A and B are shown apart, each in its own frame.
Chain A
Amino acid sequence: MEFQPEDWTALAISLKVAVVAVIFSLPVGIAVSWLLARKEFPGKTLLNGLVHLPLILPPVVTGYLLLIAFGRKGFLGAFLDNAFGLVFSFRWTGAALAAAVMGFPLMVRAIRLSIEAVDQRLEDAAATLGASRLSIFFTVTLPLALPGIVTGAILAFAKAIGEFGATITFVSAIPGETETLASAIYAYTQVPGGDAGAARLTLLAILISFAALIASEALARRTAKRIGSAA
């Protein structure tokens, strides 16, 4: 079996899409998780529902909604294009957006749970020692929620690597631009004699998944050790 240049291209796009999706959604995910875990406000149920929507909707529907909103003619897409020159439709950035949206509920679930598990009495103790709300968040809450944040990021990364439905609906599968591992495998299966290609990419996908799994285990162990087993 010999890997073809297109295989590496698809792999590179998948990795790029997943990494960018996680990097940009993580701060938002942490903020939303904190809101859901620690605050009571009108519309909390709505926000919670909105966050979880991509988990329940058929991915094709999510992709189609993204197309409507972020397409060149979409209300958000047109605005972002005009204001920042940021284009999502049929670009790898669109694939990253789709991956971020699809992974968001998984990320928020993990992070929210870990923030809820942080002992609020420690936050009180920090307040008596002079820390403001914001300082408490960065010096106590965030470090103690780190294992959950790592888990959330890895879940979102895995989801981004595997995401197919929303991506192909929103940005199609343009080789060299938006064709990820998953859509490339699908493309191979649609042509006669594509089995070898599909097998090669499947092997790559399995390797990446394993690597991510092992990395997450090691990372989780290290952060758990760092914050002390008492936490």
Chain B
Amino acid sequence: MLDVAVSHRQGNFKLHAAFTIESGLTALIGPSGSGKTTLANIVAGLVRPDEGEIKFGATSWLDTGKGLWVPPHKRNIGYVFQEGRLFPQMTVRQNLTYARRFKKVPANEKRDADLIDLLGIRHLLDRRPDKLSGGEKSRVAIGRALFSAPDLLIMDEPLSALDPARKAEIFPHLEYIRDETGIPVLYVSHLMEEVARLATNVIAIENGKIIASGNPAEVLGSQATLPATIPAGSFLQARIEEIFADEGLMKANSAAGTLYLRMADAEVGDTVRVHIPATEITLTRQVPEQISALNRLSGRVETIRSEGGETEIIINCGGERILSRITSRSAEAMALQPGVEIFLLFKAVAIGRQGLFHRHG
């Protein structure tokens, strides 16, 4: 859908990247300074690269060979910036409808009203941005981008300015965009939590180069394909079976076994995505009893790979492959070999809803 192949030099920093994104939410991950925002700005047309080509569907946005460059206002994109960037002199309503002054968006009052209600910003319409909280600004910024009916949505760490409670408030909206609007999303982030929860595809970038791309389980499942600052981990699909509201826990079933998850915005019967960071798992060969870790899975060691003082172990639990990272010293002490039966212990983990809007997953 979007094909990008560009190189760009900014001072001493060299960016050289080629990638393709399809529908769904593609997370562009990497440490700060890796060039991910520059890449997003190149796609948006806010940065004009030295060389390269960008094609969106059949439309060419950039072809330096032919001297072609489409300016940002003709690309029909939506961009949600890190800092919101709402226009301070306009009300929320004027911010939302700003793009309509320039783009012909078919009038659909019901859809507009639905979006305003969905984002919960109806009571804010006549306020100016300086009278909004951080979470409210984020929601208005998302609304403003969606009101322009974009063909492609770019989001540059839209949650980074928010505290955990406000983040939790925005996540469902991002999932809604991913699952319900059909707009492809390029989502820039350096936070595992966001990527694990939201991404349908992942592109990892480091020092201006793309080091891995593919589905989240593949890219996020091995430290070898991840920027050093992002911890590797595994994904499981699980179905919520029971909710213990007074304990703040939910019981969920996965192919790997029963999981206890921290309460989140989900209901019994929902399918959720569970992320288990590789370093959060404790391994033991004895049957564990009376331990504080709520989650206890068992499986067989599939592969072992050591590098430096670290060992990555992939464990097959009922068909699901879970990545664990321990020190090489522990791995040797436990005499781990492929085929060995082993227990995995970890605490209740963060979840992301998946398929809650019944489209993907």
In chain B, positions 84-101 with a C-beta closer than 8 Å to chain A are 85, 87-89, 98-99, 101
Residue in A121, A130, A229 whose beta carbon sits within 8 Å of that of B130 in the complex: A229
Q: What residues of chain B lie closer than 8 Å to A139, measured between beta carbons?
A: 98, 101
Question: B46 touching A122 by the CB < 8 A rule?
Answer: no
B81 contacts the other chain (Cβ, under 8 Å)? yes
Given the known inter-chain contacts A125-B81, A230-B129, please indicate yes or no for A130 contacting B88, CB distance below 8 A: no
B38 contacts the other chain (Cβ, under 8 Å)? no
How far does the alpha carbon of A100 sit from the alpha carbon of B129 in the complex, in Å? 38
A124 contacts the other chain (Cβ, under 8 Å)? yes
Interface size on A, residues (CB 8 A): 23
Residue in B102, B130, B148 whose beta carbon sits within 8 Å of that of A135 in the complex: B102
A226 contacts the other chain (Cβ, under 8 Å)? yes
Question: A130 touching B46 by the CB < 8 A rule?
Answer: no
A127 contacts the other chain (Cβ, under 8 Å)? yes
Question: A228 touching B88 by the CB < 8 A rule?
Answer: yes
A128 contacts the other chain (Cβ, under 8 Å)? yes
In chain B, positions 56-85 with a C-beta closer than 8 Å to chain A are 71-73, 75-79, 81, 83, 85
How far does the alpha carbon of A121 sit from the alpha carbon of B73 in the complex, in Å? 14
B169 smallest CB distance to A (angstroms)? 22
In chain A, positions 124-168 with a C-beta closer than 8 Å to chain B are 124-132, 135, 139-140, 143-144
B103 contacts the other chain (Cβ, under 8 Å)? yes
Question: A226 touching B46 by the CB < 8 A rule?
Answer: no
Given the known inter-chain contacts A127-B73, A131-B73, please indicate yes or no for A228 contacting B130, CB distance below 8 A: yes
Residue in B76, B89, B145 whose beta carbon sits within 8 Å of that of A143 in the complex: B89
B252 contacts the other chain (Cβ, under 8 Å)? no
Against B, the Cβ 8 Å flags (1 = close, 0 = not) of A187-231 are 000000000000000000000000000000000000000111111
Question: B78 touching A128 by the CB < 8 A rule?
Answer: yes
Given the known inter-chain contacts A228-B130, A229-B130, please indicate yes or no for A127 contacting B45, CB distance below 8 A: yes
B178 contacts the other chain (Cβ, under 8 Å)? no
How far does the alpha carbon of A89 sit from the alpha carbon of B145 in the complex, in Å? 56
Q: On chain B, which size bracket covers the interface? A: 20 to 34
Question: B144 touching A129 by the CB < 8 A rule?
Answer: yes
Question: A227 touching B103 by the CB < 8 A rule?
Answer: no
How far does the alpha carbon of A143 sit from the alpha carbon of B98 in the complex, in Å? 14
Question: B102 touching A227 by the CB < 8 A rule?
Answer: no
In chain B, positions 2-50 with a C-beta closer than 8 Å to chain A are 44-46
B133 smallest CB distance to A (angstroms)? 13
Question: B99 touching A144 by the CB < 8 A rule?
Answer: no
Question: A127 touching B71 by the CB < 8 A rule?
Answer: yes
B128 contacts the other chain (Cβ, under 8 Å)? yes
Q: What residues of chain A lie closer than 8 Å to B103, measured between beta carbons?
A: 129-130
A140 to B, closest residue via Cβ: B87
Question: A144 touching B73 by the CB < 8 A rule?
Answer: no
How far does the alpha carbon of A143 sit from the alpha carbon of B81 in the complex, in Å? 21
Given the known inter-chain contacts A127-B46, A129-B148, A143-B89, please indicate yes or no for A228 contacting B81, CB distance below 8 A: no
Q: What residues of chain A lie closer than 8 Å to B75, measured between beta carbons?
A: 128
Given the known inter-chain contacts A121-B81, A228-B129, A229-B130, please indicate yes or no for A127 contacting B72, CB distance below 8 A: yes
Question: A132 touching B102 by the CB < 8 A rule?
Answer: yes
A144 to B, closest residue via Cβ: B89
Among A119, A125, A126, find the residue whose CB has the most chain B CB atoms closer than 10 A.
Answer: A125
A227 smallest CB distance to B (angstroms)? 4
Q: What residues of chain A lie closer than 8 Å to B45, measured between beta carbons?
A: 127-128
Question: A231 touching B72 by the CB < 8 A rule?
Answer: no
Question: B98 touching A129 by the CB < 8 A rule?
Answer: yes
How far does the alpha carbon of A230 sit from the alpha carbon of B101 in the complex, in Å? 24
Q: What residues of chain B lie closer than 8 Å to A140, measured between beta carbons?
A: 87
A42 smallest CB distance to B (angstroms)? 21
Among B45, B72, B77, find the residue whose CB has the most chain A CB atoms closer than 10 A.
Answer: B72
Among A121, A129, A132, A143, find the residue whose CB has the most chain B CB atoms closer than 10 A.
Answer: A129
Residue in B72, B79, B89, B145 whose beta carbon sits within 8 Å of that of A228 in the complex: B89
Q: What residues of chain A lie closer than 8 Å to B73, measured between beta carbons?
A: 127-132, 135
Q: What residues of chain A lie closer than 8 Å to B148, measured between beta carbons?
A: 129-130
Q: List 15 A-B contacts (CB under 8 A).
A: A121-B81, A125-B79, A125-B81, A125-B85, A126-B98, A128-B73, A128-B75, A128-B77, A129-B99, A129-B102, A130-B73, A131-B98, A139-B98, A227-B88, A231-B88
3 pairs of A and B residues whose beta carbons are closest in the complex? A130-B102, A230-B130, A227-B89
Given pairs A126-B87, A126-B98, A230-B130, 19 additional interface contacts (CB within 8 A):
A119-B85, A121-B81, A122-B87, A124-B72, A124-B85, A125-B81, A127-B71, A128-B45, A128-B75, A129-B73, A129-B102, A131-B73, A131-B98, A135-B102, A140-B87, A144-B88, A228-B128, A228-B130, A231-B88
